[in-house]
Every structure is written in C-alpha cells, then in structure tokens.
Amino acid sequence: MPFPNLDSVESILAIIIVFGVLVFVHELGHFLLAKRAGILCREFALGMGPKIFSIKRGETEYTLRLLPIGGLVRMAGEDPELDILKPHMEVSVERDAVGKVTRILLDRTDSGGRGSVTGTIVRFDLEHQLTLTLDVDGEERTFSVHPQAHLVKDGQEVQIAPYNRQFKGKTVMQRFWAIFAGPAANFLLAFVLFVVIGLSYGVPSNVPYLGEVRPGGPAAQAGLMEGDRVIAIQGQPVSSWKEIVQIVSQSPGKELVFEIERNGQRKSAKVRIFNDNNVGKIMVTQTLTYAPGEVLKYGALSTYEFTAMILKSLGMLFTGAVGLNDLSGPVGIFKMTGEFAQQGLAVLLKWAAVLSINLGLFNLLPLPALDGGRLAFLLVEALRGRPVDPHKEGMVHFLGFAFLMLLILVVTWNDLQRLFLQ
C-alpha cells in the first residue's frame, strides 16, 4: 500500500491529521466516560486559545481552537461559570407550563417573554434545592428552577449544573474513570493502529517457513527457496521460526545441513552461515501472516513492548542517564512526523501509534496539571475520606501547569537549536 511522496504542504497536513486524531481520541475518552457518569460536559475542544469554529449540539459546545497544542473537555463544576449570579441583582425569569424557571435573564434591557417575572435576587440555590427567591414589588416569591435552566447574559446562554451533574458531585470511582479514560483511549488507539498495520501489511509468523530469500545470500547459494518448510537443522527437529533464528544466530561461519520440505518432497541443503559481528545469518526474511488472531496478538504485543521501552526511557530521564538536551518538544516531534510521513503509510501509522502511547504515558505521570496529577489527588481523597481543599488543589495544578510550560519552552529551544544552529 504505497504512500505518495509528500511536499511541505502535504507534510503539514499529515502532521495536523496525526496530532488531531491523537488529541481527539484522548479527549473523546474523557468525554464518553464523563457523559456516562452523568457529568454535564459544557465544551469539547480541539486545540487551545481563541475559538475559530464552534457548534452546539445538545448540552455540549464542540469547538475548534487556534493553537494545535492539545484539547479539553470542560466539565461542569470545574469553572466558576455561575459566579455571575449575585444577591440584589435584578433579573427576569421565564417559566415553563408547570411554573419552573427555564431561563434567568441577567441583562437589564431584556425583560423576558410573555409570563416572565422581574425582580431582585434575595437568595438562590442552583446546586441542591434548585430554588430562586426574588423580591417582586416588595413581595418575596420563591420559584422552582428546572435542572436544565439557562443563565442568559449579553446574548450568551449558560446551562446551570445541579450538584449531581457536576464533576465534584460524582463518586471517586466515577471521577477516576472519567480522568483515566483519556490516557486509556490513547493506548487503545495505539493497539488499533498496530492491528491496522498488521491487517494491511501482515505480521511476522512463527511458522518454520522461509520468507523472501535474498539473492546472493547463504540460503540462496545453497538452493533454498521462499516457501520451503524447515524440518530440521543438523538433525535437530525444528518447529518454529524462533528455533531457526536461535540455531543460525549461534552458528556464525559454520556449515549447517538444512532438511526442508518443498512441494511435498524432502530435500537437504548445506548452508554456509554468514558471520555478521559474531551473529549468524542466512539472509532470509520471516514469513508474514494476516490471520486475525495473530494480528490481534501483534497489536497487543507491540503496544506492550513500546510502552515498556518508553517507560524505560522515562526512568533514564529521572535517574539522570538522559538529560533535558536529549528531549524533543513539539517542534521536533512535528518535524519527525513530517519525515516519517514521507517514508510511507506503514511507517507513519507506526509512528502515530508510538506517539499515542507517549501521550497516554505522559498524561499518567503524577504531575500537577496532568491527568496523573488529578488521579493522585483522587487517591489522596479516597485514603483520607474527604477531598483536598479545592483552592489548594487548584494552586498546585496552576504551579504544575507553569512548570510544564517552562519545560516545553526548554525542549522547544533544544529543537530550534538542532534545526537551525547545527
């Protein structure tokens, strides 16, 4: 399945698509588990910074933002969106057929529609009791508020969020899964991408058959052919490709007798094993399989192996074996993505899978402002039986975010130096 050579514009498109998919899947994980828990999700955004496109569907506003450096799912209770409602404020309310308030109008110029009531706020509870008390011409009147009522100010509507629709109103486990689902979705995406690669290009098979026999190599010189089934080597029975590799790799420079089966007939051939830095080779590739079971196994094993490799690299960073100068930031990753895109679709898909694992692991680090940091606070809450003070947690996340921004600046500077100063 060839992938055409890319010019700079197409490389940029490849970068946008890869990172767009990674971020979308990550945020989709948060979104789906939050919705399943009954949390009001106010916004599902790709990118950061100013909005360049938005559309409202149901309770959620789906937005595309200017800076392609992440995304967010804005859940009710995480922003002080209802602080605009204050005692002694003059408002108008609109009610439905049974008398429940459906809209609270905060603009003085907007007196509401037919049947609306205007008054001054005496008290309100839009989280638990869902009531609003107004002073209407010197008389206090208490109204029941619909759980999906909206606040309206400057033409913008914000849906209220009763406590049971807020993130903080859910159990520790419901909040845990809503947060953990983002990184988990990235691991799932990596698995799916590896499976797609396997189904499209095949995966190495462990059966003892010869794949492509390289011309001029030891196997070719001995008369071995693609499709030959190796029965034994030096009289030792062989039942898997792994056994073939083990015997050959341990016999550099030796002559081995291969017993093979070809078209139902048995043959033998003497193969002079090539010595490559004390490792034996016969210049034959492994056969490929498209069997669904093997492809699924390949997807799971590849995801596990790359996860282990990245964790090892992270460990080297924390132990000092790898320094900050060895890290790449967004600029370096964008550049590598463009380069891999030019090497073919298979390479690009594998790189996207590795990036997805990176994104999942990075977000699980127990650092403030990351998903792992939020999970750490949930663990503390579960152990002590009560949540950490929201203001203290918010300050920790703020400082953590500042640190992450500083780290991104440092690694970006490293990238720029490698690109332009070397």
**Residues marked as catalytic:** 27
Cα–Cα distance measured from residue 268 to residue 257, given in angstroms and rounded to the nearest whole number: 7
Question: How far out from the chain centre does Cα 386 lie?
Answer: 30
Q: Which residues contact 58 (CB under 8 A, 6 or more apart)?
A: none
Phi, psi values for residue 127, rounded to 5°: -110, -45
Instruction: Name the DSSP letter for residue 73.
Output: E
Tokens of 216: 């001029």
Instruction: Using the Cα atoms of residue 143, residue 148, residue 149 and residue 153 in order, give the sign of their dihedral.
Output: positive
Cα(136)–Cα(266) distance, integer angstroms: 101
Maximum Cα interatomic distance, the chain, rounded to a whole number of Å = 107
The vertex-10 CA angle with 8 and 13, nearest 5°, equals 115
Write the CA distances from 74 to 23, 119, 215, 294, integer angstroms.
Answer: 15, 32, 59, 40
Residues 6+ apart with CB under 8 A from 338: 6, 8, 11, 12, 14, 15
Nearest of 398, 325, 339, 328 to residue 362 by alpha carbon: 328
Query: Which regions of 154-254 does DSSP assign to beta strands (E)?
Result: 156-159, 203-204, 210-213, 229-233, 236-237
Long-range contact pairs involving 135-144 (C-beta distance under 8 Å, separation at least 24): 141/117, 143/93, 143/95, 143/99, 143/100, 143/101, 143/117, 144/99, 144/100, 144/101
